[in-house]
Structure 1
Amino acid sequence: MLKLYLTIILVLKIYETGRRVWTTKGEEQEAAKKEFIEVMKVLEQELGDKPYFGGNKFGFVDVVLIPFYSWFYSYETLGNFKIEESCPKIIEWAKRCMQRETVAKTLPDQIKVYEFILELKKKLGI
Protein backbone atom coordinates (compact mmCIF):
# COMPACT_ATOMS: atom_id res chain seq x y z
CA MET A 1 0.00 0.00 0.00
CA LEU A 2 2.88 2.35 0.77
CA LYS A 3 4.38 1.82 -2.69
CA LEU A 4 1.03 2.68 -4.29
CA TYR A 5 0.80 5.85 -2.19
CA LEU A 6 4.35 6.91 -3.08
CA THR A 7 3.72 6.17 -6.75
CA ILE A 8 0.66 8.41 -6.75
CA ILE A 9 2.63 11.22 -5.11
CA LEU A 10 5.45 10.88 -7.66
CA VAL A 11 3.00 10.83 -10.57
CA LEU A 12 1.41 14.03 -9.28
CA LYS A 13 4.86 15.57 -8.91
CA ILE A 14 5.83 14.59 -12.46
CA TYR A 15 2.62 16.09 -13.80
CA GLU A 16 2.96 19.32 -11.81
CA THR A 17 6.66 19.92 -12.44
CA GLY A 18 6.39 18.88 -16.09
CA ARG A 19 3.57 21.37 -16.59
CA ARG A 20 5.70 24.11 -15.04
CA VAL A 21 8.56 23.23 -17.41
CA TRP A 22 6.45 24.12 -20.45
CA THR A 23 4.36 26.94 -18.96
CA THR A 24 7.10 29.04 -17.36
CA LYS A 25 10.33 30.81 -18.27
CA GLY A 26 13.49 32.02 -16.60
CA GLU A 27 14.15 31.20 -12.96
CA GLU A 28 10.76 29.59 -12.48
CA GLN A 29 11.40 27.22 -15.37
CA GLU A 30 14.89 26.43 -14.09
CA ALA A 31 13.42 25.53 -10.70
CA ALA A 32 10.80 23.35 -12.38
CA LYS A 33 13.44 21.52 -14.44
CA LYS A 34 15.54 20.91 -11.34
CA GLU A 35 12.55 19.58 -9.41
CA PHE A 36 11.45 17.43 -12.36
CA ILE A 37 14.90 15.82 -12.57
CA GLU A 38 14.94 15.27 -8.80
CA VAL A 39 11.66 13.36 -9.03
CA MET A 40 12.97 11.35 -11.96
CA LYS A 41 16.10 10.48 -9.96
CA VAL A 42 13.93 9.12 -7.14
CA LEU A 43 12.15 6.95 -9.69
CA GLU A 44 15.44 5.88 -11.23
CA GLN A 45 16.73 4.87 -7.81
CA GLU A 46 13.57 2.80 -7.25
CA LEU A 47 14.00 1.18 -10.68
CA GLY A 48 17.62 0.29 -9.98
CA ASP A 49 18.92 -2.33 -12.39
CA LYS A 50 15.56 -4.04 -12.82
CA PRO A 51 13.95 -4.10 -16.28
CA TYR A 52 10.66 -2.86 -14.80
CA PHE A 53 9.65 -1.27 -11.53
CA GLY A 54 8.17 -4.56 -10.33
CA GLY A 55 11.22 -6.56 -11.35
CA ASN A 56 11.09 -8.76 -14.43
CA LYS A 57 7.39 -8.16 -15.04
CA PHE A 58 5.72 -5.08 -16.49
CA GLY A 59 3.38 -4.01 -13.72
CA PHE A 60 1.25 -1.33 -12.09
CA VAL A 61 3.97 1.30 -11.58
CA ASP A 62 5.12 0.89 -15.18
CA VAL A 63 1.54 1.30 -16.44
CA VAL A 64 1.07 4.46 -14.39
CA LEU A 65 4.37 6.08 -15.39
CA ILE A 66 4.89 5.18 -19.04
CA PRO A 67 2.32 7.68 -20.41
CA PHE A 68 4.63 10.50 -19.30
CA TYR A 69 7.22 9.27 -21.79
CA SER A 70 5.08 10.78 -24.55
CA TRP A 71 5.69 14.17 -22.95
CA PHE A 72 9.47 13.85 -22.45
CA TYR A 73 10.35 15.31 -25.87
CA SER A 74 8.19 18.36 -25.14
CA TYR A 75 9.66 18.89 -21.69
CA GLU A 76 13.18 18.59 -23.09
CA THR A 77 12.58 20.81 -26.11
CA LEU A 78 10.65 23.55 -24.33
CA GLY A 79 12.87 23.38 -21.25
CA ASN A 80 16.17 23.01 -23.12
CA PHE A 81 17.48 20.00 -21.19
CA LYS A 82 17.93 16.25 -21.63
CA ILE A 83 16.40 13.82 -19.18
CA GLU A 84 18.82 11.12 -20.30
CA GLU A 85 21.82 13.13 -19.06
CA SER A 86 20.62 12.85 -15.46
CA CYS A 87 18.44 9.74 -15.64
CA PRO A 88 19.68 7.32 -18.32
CA LYS A 89 18.03 4.29 -16.68
CA ILE A 90 14.61 5.96 -16.92
CA ILE A 91 15.09 6.46 -20.65
CA GLU A 92 16.27 2.84 -21.06
CA TRP A 93 13.19 1.70 -19.10
CA ALA A 94 10.88 3.81 -21.27
CA LYS A 95 12.38 2.45 -24.47
CA ARG A 96 12.02 -1.08 -23.10
CA CYS A 97 8.36 -0.38 -22.30
CA MET A 98 7.84 1.01 -25.80
CA GLN A 99 8.94 -2.34 -27.23
CA ARG A 100 5.77 -3.81 -25.78
CA GLU A 101 3.08 -3.79 -28.44
CA THR A 102 0.36 -2.81 -25.97
CA VAL A 103 2.34 0.27 -24.92
CA ALA A 104 3.53 1.29 -28.38
CA LYS A 105 0.00 1.13 -29.81
CA THR A 106 -1.49 3.07 -26.91
CA LEU A 107 0.76 6.05 -26.30
CA PRO A 108 0.55 9.18 -28.43
CA ASP A 109 3.49 10.14 -30.60
CA GLN A 110 5.93 12.49 -28.88
CA ILE A 111 5.93 14.94 -31.79
CA LYS A 112 2.13 15.12 -31.78
CA VAL A 113 2.18 15.83 -28.04
CA TYR A 114 4.74 18.59 -28.68
CA GLU A 115 2.56 20.10 -31.42
CA PHE A 116 -0.44 19.92 -29.08
CA ILE A 117 1.50 21.77 -26.37
CA LEU A 118 2.57 24.47 -28.83
CA GLU A 119 -1.07 24.98 -29.82
CA LEU A 120 -2.13 25.04 -26.18
CA LYS A 121 0.56 27.57 -25.32
CA LYS A 122 -0.63 29.74 -28.21
CA LYS A 123 -4.27 29.56 -27.10
CA LEU A 124 -3.33 30.30 -23.50
CA GLY A 125 -1.00 33.14 -24.48
CA ILE A 126 2.05 31.51 -22.90
Structure 2
Amino acid sequence: MNSLAGQIDAKREVGEAVCHRLCAEIDKLGFAADAITHYPHYGQAHFELVKDPYTGAENLAAYWFNASNNQRLGRLQFNSDGSFYAEYDVVKPHPSKKQWFVEGVSAWGKPDAMKAEAKLLPQL
Protein backbone atom coordinates (compact mmCIF):
# COMPACT_ATOMS: atom_id res chain seq x y z
CA MET A 1 0.00 0.00 0.00
CA ASN A 2 2.99 2.34 -0.12
CA SER A 3 2.43 2.89 -3.82
CA LEU A 4 0.99 6.24 -4.82
CA ALA A 5 -2.17 4.67 -6.27
CA GLY A 6 -2.65 2.59 -3.13
CA GLN A 7 -2.32 5.64 -0.88
CA ILE A 8 -4.75 7.67 -3.03
CA ASP A 9 -7.35 4.90 -2.79
CA ALA A 10 -6.76 4.29 0.93
CA LYS A 11 -7.22 7.98 1.77
CA ARG A 12 -10.14 8.61 -0.63
CA GLU A 13 -12.96 8.53 1.94
CA VAL A 14 -11.18 10.89 4.33
CA GLY A 15 -9.95 13.08 1.47
CA GLU A 16 -13.46 13.47 0.08
CA ALA A 17 -14.75 14.36 3.57
CA VAL A 18 -12.03 17.00 3.95
CA CYS A 19 -12.88 18.48 0.54
CA HIS A 20 -16.57 18.54 1.47
CA ARG A 21 -15.71 20.38 4.68
CA LEU A 22 -13.53 22.94 2.86
CA CYS A 23 -16.34 23.56 0.35
CA ALA A 24 -18.84 23.95 3.20
CA GLU A 25 -16.58 26.53 4.87
CA ILE A 26 -16.40 28.51 1.62
CA ASP A 27 -20.17 28.34 1.17
CA LYS A 28 -20.79 29.37 4.80
CA LEU A 29 -19.16 32.71 4.05
CA GLY A 30 -22.13 33.64 1.87
CA PHE A 31 -20.59 34.34 -1.52
CA ALA A 32 -22.95 34.74 -4.47
CA ALA A 33 -23.45 31.55 -6.49
CA ASP A 34 -21.19 32.72 -9.32
CA ALA A 35 -18.46 34.30 -7.15
CA ILE A 36 -16.56 31.08 -6.47
CA THR A 37 -15.42 29.42 -9.68
CA HIS A 38 -13.30 26.62 -8.20
CA TYR A 39 -13.65 24.24 -5.26
CA PRO A 40 -11.34 21.48 -3.99
CA HIS A 41 -12.34 18.01 -5.23
CA TYR A 42 -10.31 14.96 -4.24
CA GLY A 43 -10.40 13.41 -7.70
CA GLN A 44 -9.07 16.60 -9.32
CA ALA A 45 -5.97 16.86 -7.13
CA HIS A 46 -2.41 16.16 -8.18
CA PHE A 47 -0.93 13.60 -5.78
CA GLU A 48 2.56 12.75 -4.63
CA LEU A 49 4.24 10.93 -1.78
CA VAL A 50 6.32 13.12 0.52
CA LYS A 51 8.72 11.91 3.16
CA ASP A 52 7.87 12.81 6.75
CA PRO A 53 11.11 14.25 8.18
CA TYR A 54 10.21 13.06 11.68
CA THR A 55 9.05 9.48 11.08
CA GLY A 56 10.60 8.78 7.69
CA ALA A 57 7.21 7.52 6.46
CA GLU A 58 5.90 8.37 3.02
CA ASN A 59 2.81 10.52 3.41
CA LEU A 60 0.26 11.36 0.75
CA ALA A 61 0.03 15.00 -0.34
CA ALA A 62 -2.65 16.38 -2.65
CA TYR A 63 -2.37 19.71 -4.50
CA TRP A 64 -4.94 21.70 -6.44
CA PHE A 65 -3.92 24.10 -9.22
CA ASN A 66 -5.71 26.69 -11.34
CA ALA A 67 -6.92 25.79 -14.84
CA SER A 68 -3.54 26.44 -16.44
CA ASN A 69 -1.68 24.45 -13.72
CA ASN A 70 0.69 27.30 -13.00
CA GLN A 71 -0.63 28.47 -9.63
CA ARG A 72 -1.29 26.26 -6.62
CA LEU A 73 -4.70 26.88 -5.01
CA GLY A 74 -4.53 24.43 -2.16
CA ARG A 75 -3.07 21.36 -0.54
CA LEU A 76 -4.02 18.44 1.64
CA GLN A 77 -1.35 16.62 3.65
CA PHE A 78 -2.04 13.24 5.27
CA ASN A 79 0.33 12.56 8.15
CA SER A 80 1.63 9.19 9.36
CA ASP A 81 -0.16 9.60 12.73
CA GLY A 82 -3.55 9.63 11.00
CA SER A 83 -3.97 13.41 11.13
CA PHE A 84 -4.27 15.77 8.19
CA TYR A 85 -3.99 19.46 7.35
CA ALA A 86 -5.64 21.14 4.37
CA GLU A 87 -5.83 24.67 3.05
CA TYR A 88 -7.52 26.13 0.00
CA ASP A 89 -7.30 29.67 -1.40
CA VAL A 90 -10.36 31.88 -1.79
CA VAL A 91 -8.63 35.30 -2.16
CA LYS A 92 -11.71 37.54 -2.25
CA PRO A 93 -13.19 40.32 -0.15
CA HIS A 94 -15.66 38.94 2.41
CA PRO A 95 -19.15 39.12 0.85
CA SER A 96 -20.89 40.69 3.86
CA LYS A 97 -18.19 41.92 6.24
CA LYS A 98 -16.40 44.62 4.27
CA GLN A 99 -13.68 44.99 6.91
CA TRP A 100 -12.41 41.45 6.12
CA PHE A 101 -10.64 39.78 3.23
CA VAL A 102 -10.96 36.00 2.84
CA GLU A 103 -7.52 34.54 2.24
CA GLY A 104 -8.77 30.96 2.24
CA VAL A 105 -10.15 28.12 4.31
CA SER A 106 -8.36 25.42 6.27
CA ALA A 107 -9.25 22.08 7.84
CA TRP A 108 -7.24 19.92 10.22
CA GLY A 109 -7.44 17.07 12.69
CA LYS A 110 -8.29 13.41 12.34
CA PRO A 111 -11.21 11.85 10.47
CA ASP A 112 -13.32 11.58 13.63
CA ALA A 113 -12.35 15.04 14.93
CA MET A 114 -12.23 17.43 11.98
CA LYS A 115 -12.06 21.19 12.50
CA ALA A 116 -12.23 23.94 9.87
CA GLU A 117 -12.25 27.70 9.61
CA ALA A 118 -11.96 30.58 7.20
CA LYS A 119 -8.66 32.47 7.17
CA LEU A 120 -9.57 36.16 7.31
CA LEU A 121 -7.31 39.20 7.04
CA PRO A 122 -8.23 42.79 7.86
CA GLN A 123 -9.16 44.65 4.67
CA LEU A 124 -6.65 47.33 3.71
TM-score where L is the length of structure 2? 0.28
Q: Which has the higher contact order (CA 8 A, sep 6+)?
A: 1
TM-score (norm 1): 0.28
Structure with more of its chain in strand, by fraction = 2
